[in-house]
Structure 1
Amino acid sequence: MHKWTTKGNTVSVLLADQQAVGFVAQGDQIKLGAQALIAGLKQRHMTPVMVTGDNQQVALSVAKQLGIASDHVHAELKPADKAAIVKQYQQAHQVVAMVGDGVNDAPSLAQADIGIAIGAGTDVALDSADVVLTRSEPADILNFLNLAQQTDRKMIQNLWFGAGYNIVAIPLATGLFAGIGLVLSPAVGAVLMGLSTIIVAINAQTLRVHETE
């Protein structure tokens, strides 16, 4: 039995007439792509943390296979305990994203700065999350993070473009620099304003290109 428990399995003993006649070892199978997810998070300088209701030995075994540091493993937790762990990280000025799919994950999904629910999860988890992934694929978490970063980048680019255009074009169109020969016709300014809107929209549409790559 020790061989199975050290591999992270939960062992149930079969009894007959109060005598042990065998045992059943049950363990979690790591989902394909989970290790790549953890590696991807580390590449983004994010710290993966495990919060689970499983026993400590099972949690440590799975964490070791995934590449999660043992001091970032929190096991044998109740739903309220998971939410408390999330809050502890937040109180340490950490931005927390929580991924879960079960009823037990609902409080921590609601507590996290970003709650990410798996589409195949329970209704309670889906209702508590900020983001719902339609597939149960670990890679989709990285895809979501990439899309969020690209969206933020596009928003900043469009903000600077729009603000920069107005800072330059409005004074020219109002004749503020007419004394030095710099004048922009209001009609031309209106046309350029329309073009700037089109450029901003096209820049936003490039997110679709990133999505298909």
Structure 2
Amino acid sequence: MLHTEMTLDVKAARTVGSASFITTSGAYIGVVTAARIYESKSGAEMLDIDFETHEGERAHISMCIYDKSGKETFSRAILDSLMTVCRVRSLKAEQRRFKDRQGTEQVGYFFVDLMGKPLGMLIQAAPEEYDINGEIKTMIRLNLLTPFDARTRQNAAEILDQAEAKAVDAKLKNLKDKPLKKLAAQSSNGFESAPAPRNSYAAAPAQVPPAPPAGDFSPDDIPF
């Protein structure tokens, strides 16, 4: 049927040309547009990932990969899984210019080999309350649970073992947003990793480490 009459949908009109951010748990396919490594004020090493889906939805995920004592965190394994999904055996950060949240141009270190490659991310949304200048606001903290191959849907373990893709869809069936985390005592500026209010996303918290793999796995066994 030919639609010869149209009525303005204001809500739909607002979505065109404006940024849309991931706010719900799910499996998303897209590319990493930025993967910046930096040292926090406390001395921890952080990895900031900007991700954009094929539909234009965006996410910002910040992970601590080494604590201030230099010890690896669970998120270091997340980085290894990202490397596996991107078929990258080693990373060397390159200096690039970027603009921070205030729009100021800075120079940072980026893992370019993780950027621009199609991949999937299983993401869990975790809403949290923050005190921003005396006003309580709810923001969405995004947890990267599992990177996976955009074409085969294999996670890192399945790629390395050349196994059938099952884990991502199995997790997705029971994946839900985390319950709202009510405001705890904190500074008026929120946590160091808290997002600016306009973005509605934040850093992923610490997670429980996975069980160690069975047997030894040499570099010669890596299938890429």
TM-score by length of 2: 0.21
Structure with bigger gyration radius: 1
Q: Which one has the bigger strand percentage? A: 2
TM-score by length of 1: 0.21
Higher relative contact order (CA 8 A, sep 6+): 2
Structure with the larger helix share: 1
